[in-house]
Amino acid sequence: MPRAAGKRKIMNREALIRTAEEIFVPGKGVIAADESAPTCQARFDAVGLPYTEENRRAYRELLFTADGLEQYISAVILYDETIRQRSTSGVPFAKVLAEKGIVPGIKVDLGAKELALHPGEKITEGLDGLRERFVEYKAMGARFAKWRAVVAIGPNIPSPACLRANAHALARYSALCQEVDIVPILEPEVLMDGDHEIERSFEATTLLLKEVFKELADQGVLIDGAVLKTNMVIAGKDASSQSSPEEVAEATLKCLRAIVPDTVPGVLFLSGGQGDEQATANLNAIEKRGPFPWPLTFSYSRAIQNPVLKIWAQNPSGNVALAQQVLLFRSRMNALAAAGKYSEDMEQQRPY
């Protein structure tokens, strides 16, 4: 008997795969420009920029209209406010990007909140009403969506409860994405906060990713239409022994190769508080160890934008072109790293 119309939507596998293919273009990567209101405020405060809607809009316009950005960047992740904003000439930002051949997407989680009964651990919220929100985001041009889950390392954490709750939420969000042919970029992030050694990052990332792929399978998420965005395996920011690019590459790939199914269309890395050049050098060291079953590239926020925002804040009306040069430079360095063709001496060409 035919299924009653409207009872259940079946995803369009081809559409999902096509979007994933447009995100993973060899030698290009993704910019995360989806800082939530509180995060954006913290970044603006740090460089002395007034946190006004017009400043947020002008800053994103600077990023998205940089001439030639599409040479290095295949996709950009936007925030709810940003996808509703327009360029000075009145073009919605999602359209500005799409016209350059850059795929626009949207962060849809509503942030990480304290996990009940688990001090020091968080659960990401935002599933309620997400199906309805997707209708609007799709109409605004979003073709993929991001959900970030954070997992801390500390005494007795991460707990199994935290790993399971976050993996479950990631899988439910991914299913909702695929129902409307939006590619989920699921971002389970083991934080760099703390003085833990690289081994603890390896253990926590392994546990977390295992849980995530188990939940994705349980929820029926199409693995070849779901993108993983993950942390590199790396020592904590305050660890006495900091990880070298070789150590990061070895541990990260050991973890990913053991867990990530070959059918995943690609893996993105977040920068997670690494230094700008450190994030580039680590990506380069990883890529040099290819080939892999999946394309790997960057999806950085801080490691690309930190120097851009700093330069712009020094003179918002006069430094637009210089800030754009900085953006193009860091994007190019990371695009080279994504092909394993970066070297530290290239930093001498820095325009800042």
Give the residue numbers annotated as catalytic, written as ranges.
Answer: 187, 229
311 near ligand 13P (CB under 6 A) = no
Q: 104, 236, 245, 272: which one contacts ligand 13P (CB under 6 A)?
A: 272
Site string for ligand 13P, 68-107 (x = CB under 6 A): ----------------------------------------
300 near ligand 13P (CB under 6 A) = yes
Stretch that binds ligand 13P, among 213-221, 249-257, 301-309, 334-342 (CB under 6 A): 301-309
196 near ligand 13P (CB under 6 A) = no
Span 203-232, contacts to ligand 13P by CB under 6 A? none
Q: At what angle do helices 245-259 and 198-218 cross, to 10 degrees?
A: 30
Q: 19, 65, 124, 271: which one contacts ligand 13P (CB under 6 A)?
A: 271
Q: Return d(Cα 179, Cα 85) in angstroms, integer.
A: 26
270 near ligand 13P (CB under 6 A) = yes
**DSSP string of 319-341?**
-HHHHHHHHHHHHHHHHHHHTT-
- Residue at 71: amino acid letter: Q
How far, rounded to the nearest angstrom, does the alpha carbon of residue 135 sit from its chain's CA centroid? 22
Q: Return d(Cα 311, Cα 347) in angstroms, integer.
A: 17
Q: Shortest approach of ligand 13P to residue 163 CB, angstroms?
A: 18
Identify the DSSP state of 213: H
* CB 298 within 8 Å of CB 339: no
162 near ligand 13P (CB under 6 A) = no
145 near ligand 13P (CB under 6 A) = no
* CB 153 within 8 Å of CB 204: yes
In this structure, what are the phi and psi dihedrals at residue 180, rounded to the nearest 5 degrees? -115, 25
Which of 11/189 has CB closer to ligand 13P?
189
Q: Residues touching ligand 13P: how many (CB under 6 A)?
A: 10
Stretch that binds ligand 13P, among 89-97, 219-227, 256-264, 300-308 (CB under 6 A): 300-308
| 195, 196, 197, 202: CA torsion to nearest 10 | -140
Q: Shortest approach of ligand 13P to residue 347 CB, angstroms?
A: 19
* CB 342 within 8 Å of CB 333: yes
